Chains A and B, each alone.
Chain A
Amino acid sequence: MKYSNGFSLFLFFVLTIFTSLPTDASEYLKEIVRANDLYSEKRYAQSAQAYESLINKGVRNGYLYYNLANTYIRMGKTGPAVLNYIHARKWIPRDENLEANLKFAIQQTQDKIEPPAPGTLSTLFFWSNDFNLNELIYLAIGLNFVFWVSLALWLYFPSLKIIRNALFCFLLLSFFSIGVKLKNESDFKLGVVLVKSVEVKSGRAEDAVTLFQLHEGALVTVTDKYENWLEVRLNDEQKGWVPKNSMGT
């Protein structure tokens, strides 16, 4: 009796943590259907508004960002389109349609700036680019479980040493992959120009020297921020400050 009570409490605790009941799931799915219908009816402004309202409510989904980006493409707004494709890529990095549409959107921009090439770490841990952070975490959780089981089995069956070592290497790799993903997301923060054109200044002042000009949809790396200014970088040589309200990140 005592044990069964304890087990019930444990189950309740685990279920509370591991399952989230999407109470308003059906509501937001209805809203997605409505936004998709508006898109099909070519009422792009209302469709974009519906998708945006879902995002503002905290819904995070790669396909939602993708659909929103498509809507902006139809509206001729390349800046928000590129920005939302970039957001979508964070969640659905292997989607081929997304890659094709992002290329299309970039071709529509004046500056035609491609997303920056992955860094050395990303090249070494190349598979981390093809998985989103949640997928990498689930992979690590699975490997972690299998590794500890193999470790327990190894206590009984010492011949499992090779499997244990191999699993340990995989587990370490999965942890490194998560680290690389998190580092990339913090270091290579991409920004997209949302206004028609913006002057990139040498300093955080309107009267600072204009170094170069960027146009709507231009992709840059955001390296710093200070009050209402963002430091953006195109390459090793071209960087400067732009007003925060001209960029989407």
Chain B
Amino acid sequence: MTRRKLKSLFDSEYQKLPPNVHFLKVNKKLKDEFLYVSIAQNNSLKYYPQDFNKIISPLIQLRNEF
């Protein structure tokens, strides 16, 4: 995922925010067509939300691959 600096998103007044926002990462979202994963059992496509990787353990991703 491409990272951008948070500061680059602001036209002005970035300094009004607490300075620790500097550490926030800006993620570029994936396009929707990349979020459909085929499930082997019935060969159907399942849609996964953008934050799928945050909320699901890597283990379940493996389960889908098998």
Tell me whether A and B are bound partners. Answer: no
The residues of B with any CB-CB pair to A shorter than 8 Å are: none
